[in-house]
Amino acid sequence: MTASPGLASAQLASPDLLRSVFRRHAAGVAVITARGESGPVGFTATSLSSVSAEPPMLSFGVGAGASSWPAIAATDHVGVHILGEHQQDLAATFARSGADRFGPPTVWSEGPEGVPVLDGVLAWMVCRVVARVPAGDHRIVVAEVVLGDPSGQGRPLLYHQGRFNGLRD
């Protein structure tokens, strides 16, 4: 058996190695929202995962130092929004530190449980938080889907190689 060519360039585990590997992993783009004490909060996430079909559950990661974390840590419900390829600017706004994420041109309304629901997304869900698990410098939030709407039109937005992209045929 011969060694794979990739073994010669293997690196020890580090934050840079993890970032470099995951830049090659195309991920769907979501925005997570919640009602905070001083107004709505939200952030762009590429860590969204389906956890269970029965009951319907999902998970996402959030940095423990993120501006949205205190609201996510305290809330019972979050909004999960799947973005379309036409929403690169929205994804960038929710990813940018210090941005007015809910000011114009963002269009949103207060949804069930007071959760901010974004307009024009491919799909959205309101979820009840069931667990917050420490994981290094992040927290993994596990939430049960309460209700949602998968009827938005368009194709999904992806994140790959540090940029937002659409699908290619």
Of residues 129 and 1, more confidence is placed in 129
Rounded average pLDDT over 136-145: 98
Can you give the pLDDT at residue 1?
54
Instruction: Inform me whether the pLDDT recorded for 104 exceeds 60.
Output: yes
Mind listing the pLDDT tens digit for each residue in 42-59? 999 999 999 999 999 999
Tokens of 25: 């992993």
Can you give the pLDDT at residue 85?
96
Starting at the earlier edge strand, list the strands of the sheet with 27-28: 27-28, 157-160, 163-166
Q: Which residues in 13-92 belong to E strands, given as ranges?
A: 27-28, 30-36, 39-45, 49-53, 56-63, 77-82
Task: Compute the half-sphere exposure of residue 32: CA atoms within 13 Å on the CB side of its CA.
Answer: 32
Mind listing the pLDDT tens digit for each residue in 6-30? 688 899 999 999 989 988 899 999 9
Q: Mean pLDDT over all residues of the chain?
A: 94
Q: How far apart are CA 102 and CA 98, in angstroms?
A: 12
